[in-house]
Amino acid sequence: AQFCVVGITVLRISTLNQLPFCAPVAPLLTKVTACDCHTNKCITLYYRVGSLLQIPVSSAKPKEKFSCARTEELLREYLPTKLSHVTYEPAGCAKLSAALSDEIKHLVKEVTPPRYKLVVNVTIGNKDKDETVDILVTSQCLWDPHSDNFTSSQYVNETLFCVVLVHAVYFE
C-alpha cells in the first residue's frame, strides 16, 4: 500500500498513560499520521526526535526481512508464463489455482530468508472479453508488523483474471 502523510505534530509527553502503547518514551515525540491512499485507513506512528521508538520487546527481530519487491518481481515474471495461453474453465481453473499456489510457494521460498513461513492464496476468475475486470480481493490477519509482510500481484488475459497474495510470517 502507498501511504501519504496527512499530518505531523510534535507532542510533549509527561506520562506513559498518555500514549496508546507502553514503551520507553523521550520527553519530546513526533507524531506522524499516514493514510492509505486506496482505503483511506490511517495509521499513527510516534518517533523520538531523530529516531523511531523502540520495537516492542515481544516483537520478532529477524536478521533479514522478507523482500516484497523481489517477490512481486518474481510473480510479474512468472504469471504470464503460466497463464498467457490459458482459457478460463471453472473445473480446470480450480486445479490450476491449487497447482499455481504450490509452484509460487516453492518459487518464493527460494528468495525468502530463513524462519519465514509462506501462505499463498491464488484466486482465478472468469473475465468476459468485452468487460473490464472489477474485483477486489482482500485479506486480514493478525501479525507482527515489524517482521511479517505480504505482497500481491495480478494477471489478466482475454478470458480470466488471477490475483496472487503471498503472506510471509516470521517464526522464532
pLDDT value of position 138: 72
What confidence category does residue 42 fall into, taking pLDDT thresholds of 50, 70 and 90?
low
In this structure, is residue 62 part of a structural domain? no
One domain, residues 116 and 82: yes
User: Which distant-in-sequence residues (6+ apart) come within 8 Å of 58 by Cβ?
Assistant: none
**Who has greater pLDDT, 27 or 71?**
71
Q: Tell whether 48 and 82 lie within a shared domain.
A: no
Q: Same structural domain for residues 116 and 91?
A: yes
Please count the structural domains in the chain: 2
pTM: 0.65
Least confident of 48-52, 53-57, 59-63, 141-145: 48-52
Q: Picking from 59-63, 79-83, 123-127, which range would have the lowest pLDDT averaged per residue?
A: 59-63
Q: What is the 3-state secondary structure (H, E, C) of the chain?
A: CCEEEEEEEEEECCCHHHCCCCCCCCCEEEEEEEEECCCCCEEEEEEECCEECCCCCCCCCCCCCCCHHHHHHHHHHHHHHHHCCCCCCHHHHHHHHHHHHHHHHHHHHCCCCCCEEEEEEEEEEECCCCCCCCCCCCCCCCCCCCCCEEEEEEEECCCEEEEEEEEEEECC
Range of the domain at 11: 3-52
Is a pLDDT exceeding 50 seen at residue 13?
Answer: no
Q: Is the residue at 120 inside a domain?
A: yes
Question: Which residues, 6+ apart, have CB-to-CB distance to 99 below 8 Å?
Answer: none
How do residues 92-148 score in pLDDT, each as one tens digit?
A: 999 999 999 999 999 999 999 999 999 999 999 888 766 665 677 777 777 777 888
Residue 63 lies in a domain: no
User: Is the pLDDT reported for residue 53 higher than 50?
Assistant: no
Report the mean per-residue pLDDT for the chain.
Answer: 74
Indicate the pLDDT class of residue 81, thresholds 50, 70 and 90: very high
How many other C-beta atoms can be found within 10 angstroms of the C-beta atom of residue 159? 15
Q: Indicate whether 11 and 72 sit together in one domain.
A: no
* Residue 47 shares a structural domain with residue 73: no
